[in-house]
Amino acid sequence: MTTAPADHATGRVRRRLGLGRLGRLVARRARFVIIQLAGAATAAFFLIRMVPGDPARVIAGPAASEQVLAAIRRHLGLDQSLPVQYWRYLTNLVRGDLGDSITTGQPVFDDLIQRVPATLELISLAMLVSLVLGIPLGFAMARRRLRGKGKVIFGYAMFSGSIPDFWLALIVAFIFAYTWGVLPPPIGRLGFETPPERVTGFLTVDSVLAGDLGTLWLALQHLALPVLTLTLVYSGLIVKVANAASEQAMRAGFNDLYASVGIRQALTNRRLIRLALPPVATVAGITYGFLLGGTVLVEQIYSWGGIGQYAVTALRSADFAALQGFIVLAAVFNIINYLLVDVVLWMVDPRLGRKGSA
């Protein structure tokens, strides 16, 4: 009767120790955030100015006189030296000012905030589908459950990384939208339908919140082709790592021990999955970062209206401010993404937790 309070107290102490270790892990990663952002912003500034194109000529047109072009460059601050431009860019960035886009005429920050949900909805669903398919397939291949089919899947996993995403996007759109007509053509997130009231910017979530199942079904239909494209290109790595991690876990000593004493296979499988999770979680985080870059051309093909299509339009127009904003946003996304991967690894790998306490 006296052990229950002691058990509760021990549990509270363990939770506090665990949260303390997690806090120290996050704090160690956060120390490098400023350096990473400064590096990304510096690379964006100087590399973009190596891209051919003149923003002043894009604004004024090819027939503009040199006097007009000079006035526009002076207005944009492009007549100043690179160090002066760079210093002004950094000071504005610290204040949260990414400049104005010459393409839309709006602040770049507002443009990105408006378009971020479209991209996040697309790559998050593609990531979810890749995990739901990739992890079971890799595990089944490791247990030799698929036999001949496993060779086909492994061949796909080896080949998928070499498939150009923009080429595959055109192929699946041609087959499913134009040849078979089973899915909507690439004309945006809802086609010509009116979107639901914006709450999160995710059309699937906003449709559910509005109780509009018709719009939800339409949004899922338009998501199907770009999600299929990204999944086919980027899920192969998850299949390979899940397969390799599962095979390594099966060589652990407990596997034969559990089988010899008659422990249920379901319990053995849960233990195997727990051991295989750390490398799978790591590669899932890496793949999620890759998806942000891979969606750039896919969004352009499907007229998606996300930050990927925004970046392509900015590149065509030599829109320096928009391109810089996209790169900085991508850097912030990846910093948060890899921080979340560290937290997940800390949760699924007890060895990392012990190291965090040192």
* Of 258 and 114, more confident: 114
Measured CA to CA, the distance from residue 74 to residue 39 in angstroms comes to: 27
**The pLDDT value given to residue 277:** 87
Q: Could you report the per-residue pLDDT of 163-219, keeping only the tens digit for each?
A: 889 999 999 999 999 999 999 999 999 988 999 999 999 999 999 999 999 999 999
Of residues 355 and 130, more confidently modeled: 130
Q: Would the pLDDT of 356 be above 50? A: no
- What's the burial of 79, exposed, middle or buried (CB within 10 Å: 0-12/13-18/19+)? middle
Among 39-43, 160-164, 261-265, name the most confident range.
39-43
Over residues 262-274, the pLDDT tens digits come to 777 777 777 877 8
pLDDT at 16 over 70: no
The pLDDT tens digits for 3-13 are: 555 555 554 54
Average pLDDT over residues 326-351: 87
Q: What pTM was estimated for this model as a whole?
A: 0.87
**Interval 15-26 mean pLDDT:** 64
